[in-house]
Amino acid sequence: MTELEALAARRGYTRVYLTTGPRQPEARHLYLTTGYQPQFDLHADPETLKFLPFTKELTQGQ
């Protein structure tokens, strides 16, 4: 994940946007523990959401 973010930053991207499904708690945990911000209510029942979007701002040093 870190290498992909670094590559994206070197190529001029400033933000990463990722989504996962409500039945992929491992992906949700990975995104949350690596600095991604949820773009949904974390307290909502994931099963009621179609997808779970996350964003992360990149810096050139990543």
- Residue 57 confidence (pLDDT): 97
User: Is-contact 35 29, C-beta < 8 A?
Assistant: no
Closest by alpha carbon to 28, among 48, 54, 50?
Answer: 54
Q: Where are the domains of the chain?
A: 2-40+50-57
* Structural tokens at position 12: 């001029």
Each residue's pLDDT expressed in tens, for the chain with a length of 62 residues: 999 999 999 999 999 999 999 999 999 999 999 999 999 999 999 889 999 999 999 986 55
Query: What are the DSSP calls for the chain, one per residue?
Result: -HHHHHHHHHTT--EEEEEE-TT-HHHHHHHHHTTPEESS-TTS-GGGSS-EEEEEE--TT-
